[in-house]
Amino acid sequence: MAKTFEPKSIIVTGGCGFIGSNFVHFVAREHPEVKVTVLDKLTYAGNPANIEGTGAELVVGDICDASLLDKLVPGHDAIVHFAAESHNDNSIADPSPFVQTNVRGTYELLEVCRRYGVRMHHVSTDEVYGDLALDDPARFTEETPYHPSSPYSSTKASSDLLVRAWYRTFGVPVTISNCSNNYGPYQHIEKFIPRQITNVLWGIRPKLYGDGKNVRDWIHTEDHSSAVWAILTRGRLGETYLVGADGERDNITVMRDILRGMNQPEDAFDWVRDRPGHDRRYAIDPTKLRRELGWAPRHTDFAEGLAQTIQWYRDNEDWWKPAKRATEEKYAAQGQ
């Protein structure tokens, strides 16, 4: 096992987004001695309220801004890179921001890490591997070839390859994680689980793509946060670790779980046309992460984690209400 890395000061890019802000809360709770600076562009998916109470310093700015990075990064021990355009539907409508943020932004971060000798952990997605057949017993491993399907996943694959190249060519100290689908608090309501929850809360019938048989491998965002910390501090440099919690469920099962958890009939939803290039199944084999770093998920009961998530959205309507109408108008225009 690699020697433990003990950062005293870290930058979290995209720390006002869903997964990034949950990581900021995790560090504040579990490692309060670590100073956290959040660098976030505050696009529609970033909300400063997400990091209230954490003590993190917020710097509003773009990871593509090299001059800003030159001012900000020196003096920090590590960058934990969550910042990304991440919504598949948006990447299909307009790929440009995905190329800019996910590819160029990662390049600029790697270059500033190279200039100042700063460590970087790059957070990526299992979508870079494409998809698996529904009847295939295989799961993604660190050796699975890349086969991205969407503009989003192809830009994340590109960023992963840049990170690997900067390690091999320039010796930049990096690690990579590819994680399965996250759920939990602070997730933007354009995403599947919070969209259905908030639809029910507003008296709108939930919507389900295609035949509902697409399978995703769900992990609670708190478990993702603990895995990222384990990799940042104990992972081997240059290595990739897959993060998953053995949470495979097809979309129609998740939809019914949500409806049942909100005291609705299990068929109280509408079918909508499938999205282009909709991957059939994702499944993560986290053996390497568990074997090398001794990591294990704590939220292993999906129903319990989902119930907590539903309650969070019930309790925090003021957080999601401002974005709800515009989100549903956008989906309606797309026939979804």
Catalytic residues: 126-127, 152
Q: Of 323, 300, 98, which Cα lies nearest the Cα of 191?
A: 323
51: its two tokens: 């990091």
**CA 215 → CA 46, 59, 132, 191, 207, distances in Å?**
27, 37, 9, 15, 16
Largest CA distance in the chain: 57
**Spatial separation of the C-alpha atoms in residues 269 and 210, rounded to whole Å:** 13
Burial of 6 (0-12, 13-18, 19+ CB in 10 A): exposed
Yes or no: say if 12 and 72 are a contact pair by the CB < 8 Å rule: no
Q: Is residue 323 classed as helix, strand or coil in its secondary structure?
A: helix
234: its two tokens: 């104990």
The secondary element (H helix, E strand) that includes residue 101 is none
Q: Of 281, 248, 258, which Cα lies nearest the Cα of 206?
A: 258
Burial of 283 (0-12, 13-18, 19+ CB in 10 A): buried
**Spatial separation of the C-alpha atoms in residues 198 and 211, rounded to whole Å:** 22
**Spatial separation of the C-alpha atoms in residues 150 and 277, rounded to whole Å:** 7
**Spatial separation of the C-alpha atoms in residues 222 and 219, rounded to whole Å:** 8
The secondary element (H helix, E strand) that includes residue 159 is helix 151-170
